[in-house]
Amino acid sequence: MSLIGFVYNALVDDAPLLIDSLVSSLELRDRSWISSAYDVAECEEKFGNTSLIVVAGGDGTILRTVHSIAPFSIPVVAVNMGRVGFMSELRVQEAEERLPFYLNGSVRVERRMMLRAVVTDSNGNEVLSMDALNDVVVGRVGVAHLLDIDTVVDGEFLTTYRADALVVSTPTGSTGYALSAGGPIFFPEALMMMLQPVAAHTGLRDGLVLPEDTEIILSTGEDKAALVSVDGMEDVELRPGSRVRISRSPHEARFLRSKPRTAFYNELTRRLGLVYNLTPPS
């Protein structure tokens, strides 16, 4: 018998209550497991027998969950209890009524590419290897200086970005930090990645869209303090001589969707608060 996982944001008071209510109303006590997003990695022994995970929280809760389950190709359906909720499918008030459609397999699977970031020190020793659904960011520590970030793309030197930070983004991450830095929005199922500088001072200031099989190597090559951040969850100090190698991850995130792929456009403008009349022109 396959299991249904339920993951919640422990920092949202109503999230555990919502999960408990859903498990009871859907009569899933005997074929489910429940965890907070911070503890979901400890449920790994159950992942092999889990067919679906319901996430109650915001995009951060989804990111934590996906980081743990991506190698197991488990699809997710998310109930938005955050602010914008770009990756969420359901609102709280409709979750109980609509969840059976997802449990019964009457929906499509949306696949989203991920990135893999490998950080090595000056001796070539691996410091960190982690997958990202949103982005990998190399940035400064504090506010007193700019960074010079040497950038190599597929073995060819591209440029040295002089900026506050450099974002390497997936299509999913294009609505996150990269968007606030002036980057374009990608269709979430697209296969590509983007280099987007943050507050560039000189040199290449615009974002650069790259194929999904690109390998990017970043290094600061200076004594100024720098950090690499993966999905805003794991921060590692970059010491002189360190390198960050970014490529497409072998894993992907899977989301269950009941709406057609084209629903992304209305959802995008609604979540950004740009359009209130969704009636198309004649």
Half-sphere exposure of residue 47: CA atoms within 13 angstroms, side-chain side: 19
Q: Which of these, 162, 222, 170, lies nearest to 195 by C-alpha position? A: 170
Which residues make beta-bridge pairs with 129?
118
Dihedral over Cα of 141, 177, 37, 68: its sign: negative
Question: Could you tell me if residue 19 is inside a domain?
Answer: yes
Cα separation, 33 vs 56, whole angstroms: 14
User: Tens digits of per-residue pLDDT, 61-108?
Assistant: 999 999 999 999 999 999 998 776 778 889 999 999 999 999 887 799
Summarize pLDDT for 138-186 with one digit per residue, the tens.
998 766 678 999 999 999 999 999 999 999 999 999 999 999 999 999 9
Among 136, 123, 172, smallest CA distance to 247 is for 136
Instruction: Write down the residue that tokens 């602010």 correspond to.
Output: 83
What is the pTM (predicted TM-score) of this model? 0.90
pLDDT band at 194 (very low <50, low <70, confident <90, very high): very high
What confidence score (pLDDT) does residue 144 get?
A: 65
Name the residue among 277, 84, 262, 110 with its Cα closest to residue 175: 84
**Same domain (yes/no): 8, 94:** yes
Q: Give the catalytic positions in this structure.
A: 59
For 150, the domain range is 114-250
pLDDT at 82: 75
Looking at the fold, whether 191 and 144 belong to one and the same domain comes out as yes
- Domain co-membership, 89 together with 119: no
Model confidence band, residue 275 (pLDDT cutoffs 50, 70, 90): low
**Residue 47 sits in a domain of what CATH number?**
3.40.50.10330
CATH number of the domain encompassing residue 195: 2.60.200.30
For residues 185 and 128, membership in a common domain is answered with: yes
Give yes or no: residues 102 and 118 share one domain.
no
* pLDDT of 282 higher than 90: no
pLDDT at position 280 over 60? no
Does residue 186 share a domain with residue 77?
A: no
Same domain, 15 and 128: no
Cα 70-73-79 angle, rounded to 5 deg: 75
Could you tell me if 92 and 162 lie in one domain?
Answer: no
Q: How far apart are CA 79 and CA 171, in angstroms?
A: 21
Q: pLDDT for 242-259, tens place per residue?
A: 999 999 999 999 999 998
Write down the pLDDT at residue 204. Answer: 81
Q: How confident is the model at residue 276 (pLDDT cuts 50, 70, 90)?
A: low
Q: Is residue 282 part of a domain?
A: no
Question: For the chain, how many structural domains are there in total?
Answer: 2
Q: Which of 7-21, 43-57, 100-114, 140-154 has the lowest mean pLDDT?
A: 140-154
Whether residues 123 and 166 share a domain: the answer is yes
**Sheet containing 165-169: which strands, arranged edge to edge?**
208-211, 192-198, 165-169, 135-140, 226-230, 234-238
In terms of domains, do 127 and 45 share one? no
Closest by Cα among 108, 60, 107, 111 to 88: 60
One domain, residues 101 and 84 = yes
